[in-house]
A and B are shown apart, each in its own frame.
Chain A
Amino acid sequence: MSFTGKAKIFTLYLSWWLLWIFVQTLVIVQAGFGWEIAITDAAITQLVIAIAGYAINTSMHSYQPSAKNSIYVLIWSLALTFLSLALQRWLLIQFLENNLAFISFLDASLTVRGGFTLLMIMLIAVLTWFWVYFSDKQESEKRKQDSERLAREAELSSLRLQLQPHFLFNSLNSINALVVVEPERARTMIHQLSDFLRGTIRKDTTLIKLKEELDHLQLYLEIEKVRFGHRLQTKIEKSEESLTAEIPALLLQPVVENAIKFGLYDTIGETIISIEASRIGKDLLIEVKNPYDPETAQAKKGTGFGLTAVQRRLYLHYAQNNLVQTKQEAGIFTTTLRIPQI
């Protein structure tokens, strides 16, 4: 609990007893005693009850009894009542020992005072019980939310970093080949690969502008073109207003990787991968297209692993399950992503 929270409760507790000091003073005056005596009696009585209340409150914070054990609370309250009643009486006699009328009034009203003390202590016990119960509940609720959030973040970050080891090793192999024949191109490719990898380990933001995402994708495409330059062509079309739309970082690369793999391994000859970004209403729409062989590709109907992860990521971000769509038409496989803009 914060300091201000504690201060607030302390003030409340204090005002509560001041109120009762006021009430009791009036009652004693009504009974025919002077203001001075009335105030002394009320202050001492309520102070002692306040201390007893504090005692039961702290003891119940460290030990929260179950409903079955409420008998212990009752016993403890009774014990505290007797204790504080004895203390009240002793203190009052110390202060007002000369006033015999008051002393006899005090002894006559001990039952009423005891009843009042017991009621107050039990009220505080019940309130404390509820307080501890609800703050425990709140605490565990918060813990649950925290662990859910952490799990979600961990899942998102593990989904983000699904870089295929194949890609990395084959790229290194290409560099290995270029080093001798075209050292300058080897160097360029090392830089592109480094920039690309740096992009994949960046953690700072989850949502980025489409323009940044396309820049990062471009690095990936350049590397793939070094490997498959003789067969692979890419076409990126984007509308001006789509560039400022936001998209989860590193979402497009696995989609395009999937398209390239599908396109290159399911056909022979030139493969054109096209990527189109536009706005539809407020949302961002991205279409990735690759060719396939309708004769043999029937087995690839399911969204491959690449797309399952993309779908899951979009679900975790936007809680919608229909943001990834695929269709096969006339030898072209289209993956459509709809990214809601919030």
Chain B
Amino acid sequence: MIKVLIIDDEPLARSLVKECLKPFQDIEIAQECNDGFEGVKAIAQHQPDLIFLDIQMPKINGFEMLELIETPPAVIFTTAFDEYAMKAFETHAVDYLLKPFSKDRFEKALQKWMSQKNAKEVQSPQDFIDKRNPQPEEHSRVVVKKGSNIIIIPVNQIHYFEAYDDYVKIHTKDGMHLKKKTMTYFEGMLDVTQFVRVHRSYMINLQELTRIELMEKDNHIALLKNGVQIPLSQTGYAKLKTVLGI
């Protein structure tokens, strides 16, 4: 049996996918999910082979949901016209269905996945997720997982980012969160006038900066409002001066 999940916030859209799946006897719909939160839980619970995923959903979008899963299953995206998502699809080998889609188109997508699966060359969506263009709402928030909780952090609440092996530590007023991403990813995602990469391992929120101090010789540090000291690299110090216009 092949296990699939349908994740879409519109019941009728889900029922359409369900109907398209009817002729496939060996496919079992493990669960239908209303949003990304349910999706994350259901994926952990059912370990599906394939998910049908909408992009525009409440609180967190389909991409953000995928980012919260360690090893995401194969994905077929289902979405209405969406210029940001379209750009992402066109440049990557992930299949997508544009609503409203025909049964033929649906079966083609499914067959493509099945033949990839049989040839054992299913591509993990990981690569796609890392390289895609962010949706507009993602510039203003970061979604992380803490235990089984999903936390949405508005970027204004972030004090600074710190590199930590394969992860990035996100320091906020409420504490620290981990996300399996690179500093470069966040640097590309966030507003460059608000967040400045001041060091290979640090990126600070300018709103949190109170002072720049000279430690010894050419070594500077940035002092944040909460008292934390962030080391500045030569280039980081230069970049900070340019952004602040000093």
Residues of A within 8 A of B (CB): 165-166, 169-170, 172-178, 180-181, 226-230, 264-268, 293, 295-296, 298-300
Contact = CB atoms under 8 A, between A and B. Distances in A.
12 contacts: A166-B81, A173-B16, A176-B99, A176-B100, A178-B12, A180-B19, A181-B19, A227-B12, A229-B11, A296-B141, A296-B152, A299-B156
Interface residues of B, number: 28
A169 B100 contact: yes
A177 B140 contact: no
Contact of A227 (B10, B16, B98): B10
Given A176-B16, A299-B141, A299-B154, A265 B100 contact: no
B59 A265 contact: yes
Contacts of B152: 295-296
B101 to A, nearest CB: 8
Given A176-B16, A298-B154, A166 B58 contact: no
Given A266-B59, A295-B152, A298-B154, 20 more contacts: A166-B80, A166-B81, A166-B82, A169-B81, A169-B99, A173-B80, A174-B10, A174-B12, A174-B13, A176-B99, A176-B100, A226-B12, A265-B58, A265-B59, A267-B58, A268-B35, A268-B37, A268-B58, A268-B59, A300-B140
B15 A177 contact: yes
Contacts of B82: 166
Given A166-B81, A177-B19, A172 B99 contact: yes
A228 B35 CA distance: 13
Contacts of A174: 10, 12-13
Interface in B51-99: 56-59, 80-82, 98-99
Contacts of B80: 165-166, 169-170, 173
B155 interface: yes
A181 B154 contact: no
A173 B13 contact: yes
Contacts of A228: 9-10
Contacts of A227: 10, 12
Given A180-B19, A296-B141, A165 B81 contact: yes
B64 to A, nearest CB: 12
A230 B11 contact: yes
B61 to A, nearest CB: 9
Nearest to B143: A296
Contacts of B58: 264-268
A282 B106 CA distance: 56
Nearest to B157: A298
Nearest to B37: A268
